[in-house]
Amino acid sequence: MRIVVLSPSLYSETACAMAVRMAQLGNTPAGALALPTLDRGTLLRKLGQWGLRGVARYVRAKLIPHQGDRERVSNPHLEPLLKHRDGVFRSLREVGEVYGFPVAICTNQNAPDAMERLGEWSPDLIIFTGGNILRRQLLETPRLGVLNVHLGLLPEIRGMSSPEWSLLKGVPVGVSVHFMDSGIDTGPVLHRYEFPGLERCESLSDLRHRLIAFGVEKAGEVVAGLDRGTIVAKPQSALDQDTQFFVMHQWLQARAADRLSKNQHARVVGATRG
């Protein structure tokens, strides 16, 4: 199967880990297409998720890395996939050099030059790890479709801040591997996975990091199933698409964090009684 990875940055740990995981499973990418490191859209999305200080740390780490950063990753749960020799993979170009696939930079994943490059790679499947809102031409380029890992169970939790909204709404925390369409998380679902390690999460940030690593692992399972023809996508009904969540306000995040801490407390109490 010919796979192409779309990345929000050359330095996306998730994209690097996804490319490594695909290569480990025998589906080395035919190529990877990344946005510039300081892409405006990427920075705005991270600003909504992390705040100004988080974005400042991100920019510093990518553009002015400290010597010790060669052995550190932002998401420690991706480290097993990112470890390489005496350090870790820091960019898609490094991953491409090791596993033998080309990496290209584009200013917009829908732009003519990007579409031309995708045409050259002729993908059966595109794996989206972040970037632009994708237009129909790109969505229809791969033979099978564009795959996305959403950090929530679809159709119950669509949109932004999915782990936090899952906690507040009482929906099991998990990930959904689905094909993308022109809507927001409305495409056909390939598989839903409930996350088994909620009680081990120390914070909302740790929960998100664990879910990302969990999603990379499960994406590998889904791609293998697509390759064997054992997984079939199930469309979401129109009724399922009525609710969409947006970036959660800080005071609601505090309530979600409280729900998470209660899960930890229940685990500790259960272990003590056991």
- By DSSP bridging, strand 174-179 and strand 145-150 are antiparallel
pLDDT at 94: 97
How many domains, in total, are found in the chain? 1
Nearest-angstrom CA–CA distance, 102 and 76: 26
- Range of 62's domain? 3-273
Nearest-angstrom CA–CA distance, 12 and 150: 16
Structure tokens at 170: 């009482």
> Tell me, what amino acid is at 147?
L
pLDDT at 128: 98
Nearest-angstrom CA–CA distance, 41 and 228: 36
Using the 8-state DSSP alphabet, how is residue 171 labeled? P
Q: Where are the beta strands (DSSP E) in 68-135?
A: 83-84, 87-88, 103-105, 125-128
pLDDT at 227: 94
pLDDT-flagged residues of the chain (< 70): 38-71, 239-242, 264-274
Angle, helices 204-228 vs 162-169, to 10°: value is 100
Whether this prediction's pTM lies above 0.85 is answered by: yes
Report in angstroms the alpha-carbon separations of 223 from 15, 127, 196, 232, 239: 15, 10, 21, 11, 28
pLDDT at 64: 55
Q: Which helix (H) or strand (E) holds 256?
A: helix 250-273
Backbone angles phi, psi at 169, to 5 degrees: -90, -5
pLDDT tens column, 170-229: 999 999 999 999 999 999 999 999 999 999 999 999 999 999 999 999 999 999 999 999
Count Cβ atoms below 10 Å from residue 269 Cβ, excluding itself. Answer: 10
CATH number for the domain spanning 108: value is 3.40.50.170
Residue 18: partners with Cβ closer than 8 Å, 6 or more residues away: 5, 127, 129, 216, 219
Nearest to 195 by CA among 234, 223, 163: 163
Structure tokens at 203: 């914070």
